Chain A
Amino acid sequence: MLKYNDKVLMIVFAILVLTGPVILAPFGAGYPDLLQRFAIFGILAVGYNILFGLTGYLSFGHAAFLGVGSYSTVWMFKLLTMNIIPGMILAIIMSGLFALLIGFITLRRSGIYFSILTLAFAQMSYSLAYSVLTPITNGETGLQIRLADARILDPKNESGSLPSTNLFGFEMNDTWRTTFMGMDLQFNVGFYVCAVILIAAFYVSIRIFRSPFGLMLRAVKTNQNRLMYTGINTKPYTLAAFVISGMYAGLAGALLASMDPLAGAERMQWTESGSIVLMVILGGAGTLLGPVLGAGVIKYFEAIFSRINDNVLHGWFDFLPGFLETFMVWIIHPFVGKGWSLTLGAVFMIIVIFLPGGLMEGANRINKRFGKQKRGSADNAKAPAE
């Protein structure tokens, strides 16, 4: 079972996630839509970290699994029931199979070849979803639920409005609102479903990190050649890691579709894969908590930055003399609102250049400088990824 430290980490993590709506409310992030995205992309990042953080294989195609998960879930909504369980199960199975196929081919190569191959595969799935597979994916419009869908397990819908996704009767968009110390708190069913799954996903990832299997994956990252010289076939291990992280991505896709029953091909684009990588890098690849943190930070700033417009900026720099105010607004304008991608790209570069270990390494450095003079732990973690 888990060691003492891990147990503490697990409990603290669970408490933090479950009290998310309360903790994040003062930061203006306490609304269900954003909280759900925190949890869902947290799951995605945790899964990606099992592949990239442990084995060092840089996949640029994980958005494809996200898309596969979404599509399979929406199909379950259309055919079987609006309960999210069958959709999630199918999404995990489908993305697992898909990952097995892609991984089997792409893992024949390592390093850059692997990155480019996964990129090519993801791009191929994206084009397929847009063109040939239109009967399954509904092309550019995206796959949606309709009134006329079969839903053979559900009772006949006579209300005339679209049914909403649920978990045994608890509807995902149900929210219980209350006011506490002047803050508007919103406890959303969908968020708690995602949160519980995130905690479970995190637990599985701790177990993998601490298992002999996880140790083997780390060995692959440190020196795959040496591992092969000792007579170990590394392929099954890397393939397993690839499939597991693909299943995580499928699960995240299923949850995305459960919160908003819609699946579109743009979810599979390779820039999406890039942003998954960024979440993990920003938080700290190879650390347990880092990816969740990175996903949270990115989604938070995405929501905040996109909301800032010129009026807000003028409000901020009101105290400056006129021309300086105009100048500051002019400087910051391209980075906010629709220019969020620019900020994202810039952050990406800054993190990779100055802090390759991500926020967790930053925290470690600060700890080392100000805390007890503990030696070793941070230095050992900086093994080359080759």
Chain B
Amino acid sequence: MDAIFLQVLNGLDKGSAYALIALGLTLIFGTLGVVNFAHGALFMLGAFCAVIMRKILTLSHVSLDPEKTNFLGKPLEIRTPYVELWWGDVGTWMIDYSVLIAILFAIPVMGVMGIVMERGLIKHFYHRPHADQILMTFGLAIVLQEIIKAFFGANPIPQSAPDSMSGAMDIGVLFGFAEYAVIYPYWRLVYFVFAAVVIGGVFAFLRFTTFGMIVRAGMADRETVGLLGIDIDRRFTIMFGLAAAVTGVAGVMYTPILPPNYHMGMDFLVLCFVVVVVGGMGSLPGAILAGFMLGMLESFSSMNEVKAIIPGIDQIIIYLVAMIVLLVRPRGLMGKAGMMED
């Protein structure tokens, strides 16, 4: 029983990441009708926002200590980050919480990047075949990831969670299991809560604001909204920026779980496409549901007991489920008729 509970928890953090990326994909897809193969690259760029933020915060002043020498016999270098030099304890605190500060940095950066992407490139592809959109964004994804590789190298760059949120807690006790039966890292809980807040925020934004209402109307019938004298294109561009920002912060928060490397975006992208298709193209609740569902299925299938029955099932379960869902319900779990069916 506790093993099952642990797998549910394990599924939550991966599912949260899937759900967040799939949410961004669906926002873009539902509004602009573009299949964005560069979306994984946005996730990766978000993660590298965290890397950059940490690099900036730990820029160090190097001073020499003439009294001590290092093992080569040269004067010992003492590196003090500038922020610590200037602000003392506040600086230390900032370095510790760099992941959270990176979110503030990532939201505007990723938002602007999304808007630039939409205005600069994707705008020109609305009237082109879907194949062209896929190919162009695929090329863009390669370019983005190779640029990151050129600057940061091919190796993963580990990032740490803030001290107060690293380590693990004995969550099982809270739910009445035996002590030390269910140990779960704090940061993954933080990630899940964060994902829930972001998802809730996006839904609330779409449901309770005038802007969101217009966007929803535009998703349903773009032409009519345009005829009513509303500049729907501008709003969709902003939605693209929002989707990029959501994906970006998903990447920022994921860095303590998975050290960012240049191809992490591509790895997530394929899975998230599957998530979107299973959830039903263009359906926001579907994307969230499918994201969490597939994340949990993945963690359940990686249990040793399951693997003993069907070896290797954890590698392919997502694809397998996707195929079955598509064969039984071609539109996905919550897909609407007429979405992308040309």
Q: Is the pair A111, B277 in contact by a Cβ cutoff of 8 Å?
A: no
Q: Is the pair A119, B138 in contact by a Cβ cutoff of 8 Å?
A: no
Please, which residues of chain B bring their CB within 8 A of the CB of A109?
326, 330
Known: A127-B315, A127-B316. A117 touches B143 (CB 8 A): no
Known: A113-B326, A117-B323. A345 touches B312 (CB 8 A): no
The answer to the question of B150 belonging to the interface, with a C-beta cut-off of 8 Å to chain A, is yes
The answer to the question of B113 belonging to the interface, with a C-beta cut-off of 8 Å to chain A, is no
How far in angstroms is the closest Cβ of chain A from B140?
Answer: 6
The answer to the question of A105 belonging to the interface, with a C-beta cut-off of 8 Å to chain B, is yes
Known: A120-B319, A274-B138. A111 touches B143 (CB 8 A): no
Q: Is the pair A356, B273 in contact by a Cβ cutoff of 8 Å?
A: no
Q: Is the pair B326, A352 in contact by a Cβ cutoff of 8 Å?
A: no
The answer to the question of A344 belonging to the interface, with a C-beta cut-off of 8 Å to chain B, is yes
Please, which residues of chain B bring their CB within 8 A of the CB of A110?
341-342
**Alpha-carbon gap, A108 to B141, bound state (A):** 28
The answer to the question of B201 belonging to the interface, with a C-beta cut-off of 8 Å to chain A, is no
Please, which residues of chain B bring their CB within 8 A of the CB of A127?
315-316
**Alpha-carbon gap, A329 to B312, bound state (A):** 47
B contact patch SS? helix
**Alpha-carbon gap, A271 to B139, bound state (A):** 11
Which of B130, B139, B270 counts the most A-chain CB atoms under 10 A from its CB? Answer: B139
The answer to the question of B147 belonging to the interface, with a C-beta cut-off of 8 Å to chain A, is yes
Candidates B128, B129, B273, B316; contact of A124 at CB < 8 Å? B316
The answer to the question of A44 belonging to the interface, with a C-beta cut-off of 8 Å to chain B, is no
**Contact flags (1/0) for A256-289 with B, using CB distance below 8 Å?**
0000000000000011001001100100000000
Stretch among A86-94, A128-136, A152-160 lining the B interface = A128-136
Candidates B131, B139, B270, B341; contact of A349 at CB < 8 Å? B139
Please, which residues of chain A bring their CB within 8 A of the CB of B340?
111-113
- Indicate the size class of the contact surface on chain B: 35 or more
**Alpha-carbon gap, A132 to B319, bound state (A):** 15
How far in angstroms is the closest Cβ of chain B from A345?
Answer: 3
How far in angstroms is the closest Cβ of chain A from B165?
Answer: 32
A274 to B, closest residue via Cβ: B138
**Contact flags (1/0) for A323-363 with B, using CB distance below 8 Å?**
00000000000100001011011111100110010000000
A384 to B, closest residue via Cβ: B129
Q: Is the pair A270, B142 in contact by a Cβ cutoff of 8 Å?
A: no
**Contact flags (1/0) for B69-81 with A, using CB distance below 8 Å?**
0000000000000
A269 to B, closest residue via Cβ: B266
**Alpha-carbon gap, A384 to B130, bound state (A):** 10
Candidates A113, A119, A352; contact of B135 at CB < 8 Å? A352
**Contact flags (1/0) for A29-57 with B, using CB distance below 8 Å?**
00000000000000000000000000010
Candidates A124, A345, A356, A384; contact of B139 at CB < 8 Å? A345
How far in angstroms is the closest Cβ of chain B from A287?
Answer: 16
How far in angstroms is the closest Cβ of chain B from A98?
Answer: 15
Known: A109-B330, A111-B130, A132-B311. A121 touches B319 (CB 8 A): yes
B303-342 with Cβ < 8 A to chain A:
311-312, 315-316, 319-320, 322-323, 326-327, 330, 340-342
Please, which residues of chain A bring their CB within 8 A of the CB of B128?
356
How far in angstroms is the closest Cβ of chain B from A303?
Answer: 18
How far in angstroms is the closest Cβ of chain A from B131?
Answer: 5
How far in angstroms is the closest Cβ of chain A from B209?
Answer: 30
**Contact flags (1/0) for B42-56 with A, using CB distance below 8 Å?**
000000000000000
Candidates A274, A277, A386; contact of B342 at CB < 8 Å? A386
Q: Is the pair B129, A281 in contact by a Cβ cutoff of 8 Å?
A: no
Please, which residues of chain B bring their CB within 8 A of the CB of A344?
142
Q: Is the pair B323, A120 in contact by a Cβ cutoff of 8 Å?
A: yes
The answer to the question of A385 belonging to the interface, with a C-beta cut-off of 8 Å to chain B, is yes
Q: Is the pair B146, A342 in contact by a Cβ cutoff of 8 Å?
A: yes
How far in angstroms is the closest Cβ of chain B from A135?
Answer: 11
How far in angstroms is the closest Cβ of chain A from B271?
Answer: 8
Candidates B130, B143, B270; contact of A346 at CB < 8 Å? B143
Q: Is the pair B273, A277 in contact by a Cβ cutoff of 8 Å?
A: no
- Residues in chain A within 8 A of chain B (CB atoms): 56, 58, 105, 108-113, 115-117, 119-121, 123-124, 127-128, 130-133, 270-271, 274, 277-278, 281, 334, 339, 341-342, 344-349, 352-353, 356, 384-386
Instruction: Give 6 closest A-B pairs by Cβ, nearest first.
Output: A132-B312, A345-B142, A348-B139, A342-B146, A349-B139, A345-B143
- Residues in chain B within 8 A of chain A (CB atoms): 35, 121, 124, 128-132, 134-136, 138-143, 146-147, 150, 266, 270, 273-274, 277, 281, 311-312, 315-316, 319-320, 322-323, 326-327, 330, 340-342
- 19 pairs, CB–CB < 8 Å, chain A vs chain B: A111-B342, A116-B273, A124-B316, A128-B316, A132-B315, A270-B270, A274-B138, A334-B150, A342-B143, A342-B150, A345-B140, A345-B141, A348-B138, A348-B142, A352-B139, A356-B132, A385-B131, A386-B129, A386-B342
What 6 additional pairs, Cβ within 8 angstroms, besides A109-B330, A121-B323, A270-B266? A58-B134, A112-B134, A115-B134, A116-B274, A131-B312, A352-B136
